[in-house]
Structure 1
Amino acid sequence: MMFPEEKKVYVFELDDVVFPKKDYLLQVYYLFANFIEFTETVPAQADLVQFMKNHLEHQGENLLFEHAQQTFGFDQKYKENFERLHVNAILPLRLHLFDHIDTLFRQLKAADKHVCILTKGNPLEQLNKVKFVDWGEYGDDIKVYFKDELVFGGIDPLEFLANEFTVDTTAIQFVD
């Protein structure tokens, strides 16, 4: 594939662009359900995971904990554990790049283009995801930036990336 000469830096979001966010969430739900079953003995881990998976697929992440808590009757006090797992879970499985992203990264590397991640959301949770992505041969070449941290610091992400890679802002291509 040919890439425009004027584009030097390709910027990707993490969730659902580089890898399926669902792969991360389902592992978090598995770990949480395992914790609940171990702590409370009920519900069965498989039942809670299935409920959470169905909720994610049909209603999204919003109010997932509350609906599970109401359905299965476990204590509200576990919400903190649920939220903490999103930020610092040690996943049992690696997160894999979408096949087309793996191919695109390979092509960009061959074309001598810079690749980076500019991800939004809780920086600690996003960093945890980054740690579990199987970056393969690109691991040493990809820099990760956290949009929320930049914006909170009053820094324009586009200008920041242009300075970081010493290019004009027009040389940056966002991929989503």
Structure 2
Amino acid sequence: MKIITPAADKQLYLFEVDDVLYPKRDYVLQIYYLFGQFVEFTESKPIAAAITQFMKERFEADNTTGLLQATQKEFGLLDNYVENFERLQANAHLPLKLLLFEETKESFRALTDSGKQFAILTAGNPVLQLNKLKHIDWAGWDQKIKIYFTDELVFRKIDPFSYIANEFGLDAAAIQYIR
């Protein structure tokens, strides 16, 4: 991400979460680590490091389609791990905080200094996205930011941009979406 330069015609800047606020990789790899630890504990076999490494290599090769199934096959895991993995993704307590990109913090400062507003508009499972957001080291920026979930608004048959524009008393054309 590059530092956002406030535009005269934009009053509100909406930020996506993954790879905009922080590196998505930082969340995903911690989930893989926790999943490996969970499997090791459940199976009583020292396989956590191997599972984590297997999942990490596939992620870094951009080969995540069917990742859990491939992991199950590689390590002879039962199907009941699917539910555990999905629950872990949405509810895990991460061992390490997620750090905002420096460019994101600079953008927040530039927007604040220019009198602009900013918020989060994120797509995907709202529970999962909220879990990511609660693990970010906001450095105080969370006190100034509203969060909106695209999927939740669309499910309620609400256009996210119209809704957010109305909440901020703006025309939708005054919004810039960074994703």
TM-score by length of 1: 0.95
Candidates 4, 7, 25, aligned match of 2:7: 4
In the other structure, the counterpart of 1:157 is 160
Aligned mates of 2:63, 2:171 — CA distance in 1? 38
Task: Verify: 1:124 aligned to 2:127, yes or no.
Answer: yes
What TM-score do you get using the length of structure 2 for normalisation?
0.94
**1:20 pairs with 2:16:** no
Q: Which amino acid aligns with 1:40?
A: E
Matched to 1:97, the amino acid is: L
CA deviation profile, 1:38-67 (whole Å, cap 9, x unmatched): 110235211110000001111433211100
Give per-residue Cα distances to partners, 1:47-96, cap 9 Å, x unaligned: 11000000111143321110011001121111110010011001111111
Work out whether 1:88 is the aligned partner of 2:91.
yes
1:137, distance to aligned residue in structure 2 (A): 2.4
CA distance in 1, matches of 2:12, 2:118: 6
Unmatched tracts of structure 2, length 5 or more: none
Matching residue's letter, 2:70: H
1:45 matched to which residue of 2?
48
- Distance in structure 1 (CA, Å) of the matches to 2:95 and 2:67: 22
Name the amino acid aligned to 1:155. I
The aligned counterpart of 2:117 is 114
Structure 1 residue runs of 4 or more that deviate by more than 4 Å after TM superposition: none
**RMSD in angstroms over aligned alpha carbons?**
1.3
Give unmatched runs, 5+ long, in structure 1. none
In structure 2, give the amino acid aligned to 1:38.
F
Instruction: Determine the structure 2 residue equivalent to 1:57.
Output: 60
